[in-house]
Structure 1
Amino acid sequence: MRRTLALAASLLAATAGVSATRGEQWWAHVQVLAADDMKGRITGSPDHLRAADYVIGKLKALGLEPAGVNGFLQPVAFTEQRILGAETKASLEGPDGSVPIGVPDAMIVSGGGGAAREAIDAPLVFAGYGLRIPEAKHDDFAGLDVKGKIVVVIAGGPSTISGALKSNARSERTRYLAEKGALGIIALTPPKQIEIPWPRRMLVASQPAMFLADPALRDIKTPFFSAMFDTAKSELLFKGSGHRFEEVAALADASKPVAGFDLAQRLKVKVAAQRRDVMSANVVARMPGSDPALRSENVVVSAHLDGLGVGEPIKGDTIYNGAMDDASGVATVLEIAAKLKAEGAKPKRSILFLFVTAEEKGLLGSRYFASRPTVPAKSIVADLNFDMPLPLWPLETVLVLGAEESSLGEVAKAVSVAQGLPLVPDPLPDRNSFTRSDQFSFIRQGIPAVAFKFGFARGTPQEAIEKEWRAVRYHSPSDDVDQPVEKEEAVKLNDFVAEMALRVANGPARPTWNADSAFKKFVRP
């Protein structure tokens, strides 16, 4: 049975009195943060606040300075939006007449991004991968009329385009489509790209979404419809079009070009939603720099503290503990801070240890911090982020997401050589990992950023382990402290990033984007 908070805390106290290994010390934080008593640390809950108090206690014990606006805290205002699936009515109007679409058993309507469009009746158009990438002379929307329509897209992208470019294009397309007059978007997933089985997605969809209360920080200022469709039922959207989902899915699974075309269906939806105001907070601590000329600059080391809370039961368990996602990352940032303090590190630049809220709600806490930091915005030189590093096998290689985009990649290479840990490229670039976690909030502000995971290659036993973990434990109650974890191997990655943080903090120049990086465009004058 998973340990309670009280038991985990007593174990942590006990290890302080004996020579616990560093892996056990790291794991002790995970045991506290992912205990059943923490109830999944959902944003805005008393449980998330207790998790924040635990982190603050550790930061104080290390002698780190508070760097929030209220001590260690940076409060953030949200609007919580819950889509009521049982009361939401949807149908496809087309060649077979009116075909009811179950919500969420066939279609999951997103409550994130902003206030949901409450009523919609619009034609559908298929836009292939839905990627607009001027740098690669690729535009799936060219020649398509999207005004007044719902745009259907499929996951993936041409193999000839880098994963970073594709990820960035996906992050920008909703705003682009809204500007072009589209009313909404439906995302499809080809069979070989499924990460989470649809029944589990349905369970998570029952939880409320959130968006930032301040409209200035949202990508879209007006209501916009956003949904995903069950792969097993996506054929319904293509009826009468002369095309089949099976055909386009096969092309997407092979990363081949996928053309767009008009669909013969209209989607009619009446969305039922509930909203309420929620407050939560980021936690920020500072290790002051030692160099008079550089200490006003800041290197950020980050992870997200929030989880999915209490949700629909799976095998009778309702607590989505979030041990790997992302209590493990929080523990790693705490242990990096502890390592630097224990070794008497005197970084020239200051180092900020940032524990953000609302990552699971759409990177919202990090977006707020990166947009309205508690330090001068120009002082932040880089972000090194942890989200599910997944120490599930011996650490032999390191995946540094974004290493090829900025000079942080050269720092990573130097540490790689020094520690004998080769770097590997992203084995699954169409997963969009580089833009799916909090580092992307910093990138959008023009700040070089990278994220870290245990490396693996396609076709290896490690890939099989990672795939099974995502299919079984990712965003489910079984992501708890009873799962097998390589605790001592986790510390090796902690040391890798601790060394990177020091090298960035002590470097003569700030990190810069590479000349050919698509993310240079975010740099502000």
Structure 2
Amino acid sequence: MCIRSLLLFSFFCVSFFPATSQNLKLDKDIKTALSKVDTARIKRDIKYLADDKLKGRLPGKEGYQMAVDYVVSQFKQTGLTPSGDHGTYLQKLILRKAVINPLVSSAALKDKNGNEDTLGLGKDIALFPNAIQKKVVVEAPLVFAGYGIDVPGKYSDYEGLDVKGKIVVVLSGAPKGLKLPSSIEAHFGSPTAKIRLAAAKGATGILISTDSPASVMALGRGINVAMDTAKTVATGSNAIGKLQLGARLTYAGLLRIFMNSGKNLKQVFTVLEQGKPSSFELPLSIRVQYTSEYKDIESYNVIGKIEGTDKTLKDEYVIHTAHLDHLGIARPVNGDSIYNGAHDNASGVASLLEIARIYKSRGVKPRRSVLIVMTTSEEMGLLGSAYFAAFPTVSKSQIVADVNTDMPTLIAPLLSVAPLGAEHSTIEKSVDFACAELGIEKQKDPMPEEARFVRSDQYSFVLEGIPALHIKYGTKTLDPSFDLVKFTKQWRDANYHRPSDEITNGFDFGAAKKYVQLNFLISYSIAQTTERPKWNAGDFFGQTIR
């Protein structure tokens, strides 16, 4: 082959053969950039964000604003392009606390003869406040819909059941007999999924049974949602959407509903736990009237952009998310009332700030654009991410993936990871690429019972149909006899959502460096790969989430 032909062939290969994560190669400059991840700077960022003077970074308080200002200053120093509202780094949203006024609220069952049986608020039933409509009066027939789930082609609690204009009664959680993958089981076990599905089926409301007194008490204290600035749309894990009624039933309340149904509740439980549906109409209706009261505050997501270099792909976006908020000042433990949130999630924010520096300060040029999004109010119910995913500051159709970072738990060498959610889409190939480059072992979720897939910001993107993942630690250790899962659980029980979550508590900054390198390589791989990520063929989330 002549030199001219060889040069043309080389150009053709580089310019027209689509890049994939399998054939992506790291050049010397990128490897050098990775080697320069600065743990001193990561520690500095965590130390500032988790300092007592920020008072736990509670949204609406001065400490959260200090955290916002710090991130904005770091974005400016690093050279990120503002990608919030009106040419700023900030996306404003309204955080609404909604509570039920018990003095003008009531709930009662009614049989076919018109006899009423009053349900005790907080004893038998706890109502979700309505964040849009202050006063609601609703009366509708009740139907029992098992666990309130629908797995296409496998199982449905709604099959053959007409719920239009009715109120569905469902159990919390998901049936073990179905043996669903942990991420799908976590999805179906979440109230968010049950509420969304009931609304999609045409129901007027939903009553979710629970054996957790804490969840009933929590509803009594109200819910938090994110509102658009016009205050006409509510988002977040506690929003009831188009439903008129959402509520939790205590076991006592569920028993009262089943008392005259002609059905044996224990037998129904047995059938459902075998992975078989058991759904039917109930010979009752329910009448509920309630009034919600509101308190609104302003808060902000913080958003910066690394501009892509490809003339076509630069209009598509890979998102990095980490929540900036924590719990503020709360119940004292050992004399300390400031919930600093060093691990949760100052460490995640610091990781993203260092990833931004890899891209900008060290000359790494992605083909797609990359957004660094620090979200507000994750601790209140994924509110900031739910708002951004529903109302992004860029075209939603151009967002290709979210790589979320929440509480990396950097307390031991990072030898393996569990990429929660990656198995549902082609972004798993980018995880494989990044793990191979760093010699990290990829594992399945070692704690499926924790339902972590639906408890952090990546879930907000999944609910909007966008492939997403959350990298969590794995189980591999240098000493095979050391039980890292047990050690981590003990550490979490002692420090998670406790004032002891401070910069002085257990950080392994070697693990921090590797965690930053890993998450950077995942987003870089997605940014460089010509084909945008897609849900795997036949995948549940790809089929059902729109």
TM-score with structure 1 setting the length = 0.78
Residue in structure 2 matching 1:210, options 213, 220, 225:
225
Tell me the equivalent position of 1:491.
Answer: 513
Partners of 2:334 and 2:218 lie apart in 1 by 12
Three-state SS of the structure 1 residue aligned to 2:171 is strand
Compare CA radii of gyration and give the structure with the larger one: 2
Displacement of 1:456 after TM fit?
3.9
Match runs of 1:111-510 below 5 Å? 111=129, 114-115=132-133, 118=136, 125-134=143-152, 136-144=153-161, 146=163, 147-157=165-175, 158-169=177-188, 171-178=192-199, 179-188=201-210, 202=217, 206=221, 209-213=224-228, 214-215=231-232, 222=242, 224-228=244-248, 243=264, 248=269, 256-257=275-276, 259-260=278-279, 271=290, 273-311=292-330, 318-429=337-448, 431-456=450-475, 461-468=483-490, 471=493, 473-481=495-503, 483-510=505-532
Partners of 2:424 and 2:336 lie apart in 1 by 41
Three-state SS of the structure 2 residue aligned to 1:502 is helix
More displaced 10-residue stretch of structure 1: 116-125 or 423-432 = 116-125
Deviation digits for residues 345-370 of structure 1 (CA, Å, limit 9, x no counterpart): 22222221111223334333223333
Partners of 1:503 and 1:293 lie apart in 2 by 17
CA 1:91–1:298: 2 relative to 1, 3 Å: closer
Partners of 2:482 and 2:216 lie apart in 1 by 27
Q: How many residues align?
A: 492
Three-state SS of the structure 2 residue aligned to 1:185 is strand
Displacement of 1:409 after TM fit?
0.3
Tell me the equivalent position of 2:27.
Answer: none
CA 1:346–1:262: 2 relative to 1, 3 Å: same
Three-state SS of the structure 1 residue aligned to 2:422 is coil
Three-state SS of the structure 2 residue aligned to 1:398 is strand
TM-score with structure 2 setting the length = 0.75
Three-state SS of the structure 2 residue aligned to 1:360 is helix
Alignment of 1:61 with 2:81, yes or no, is no
CA 1:121–1:462: 2 relative to 1, 3 Å: farther
Three-state SS of the structure 1 residue aligned to 2:372 is strand
Displacement of 1:494 after TM fit?
1.6
Residue in structure 2 matching 1:45, options 54, 61, 75:
61
Partners of 2:181 and 2:39 lie apart in 1 by 36
Tell me the equivalent position of 1:511.
Answer: 533
Three-state SS of the structure 1 residue aligned to 2:532 is coil
Displacement of 1:384 after TM fit?
0.9
Partners of 2:108 and 2:52 lie apart in 1 by 42
Three-state SS of the structure 2 residue aligned to 1:32 is helix
More displaced 10-residue stretch of structure 1: 208-217 or 512-521 = 208-217
* Superposed CA RMSD: 4.1
Three-state SS of the structure 2 residue aligned to 1:338 is helix
Verify the 8 A CA contact 2:310 2:367 in the aligned structure 1.
yes
Displacement of 1:238 after TM fit?
5.8
CA 1:148–1:517: 2 relative to 1, 3 Å: closer
Amino acid at match of 2:402: D
Amino acid at match of 2:146: G
Verify the 8 A CA contact 1:39 1:309 in the aligned structure 2.
yes
Verify the 8 A CA contact 1:90 1:267 in the aligned structure 2.
no
More displaced 10-residue stretch of structure 1: 408-417 or 325-334 = 325-334
Partners of 2:220 and 2:394 lie apart in 1 by 35
Partners of 1:108 and 1:36 lie apart in 2 by 36
Amino acid at match of 2:515: L
Three-state SS of the structure 2 residue aligned to 1:82 is strand
Displacement of 1:438 after TM fit?
2.3
Amino acid at match of 1:151: V
Partners of 1:348 and 1:469 lie apart in 2 by 40
Q: Where does structure 2 lack aligned partners over 5 or more consecutive residues?
A: 1-35
Displacement of 1:216 after TM fit?
5.1
Tell me the equivalent position of 2:20.
Answer: none
Partners of 2:519 and 2:156 lie apart in 1 by 37
CA 1:75–1:298: 2 relative to 1, 3 Å: closer
Partners of 2:423 and 2:453 lie apart in 1 by 11
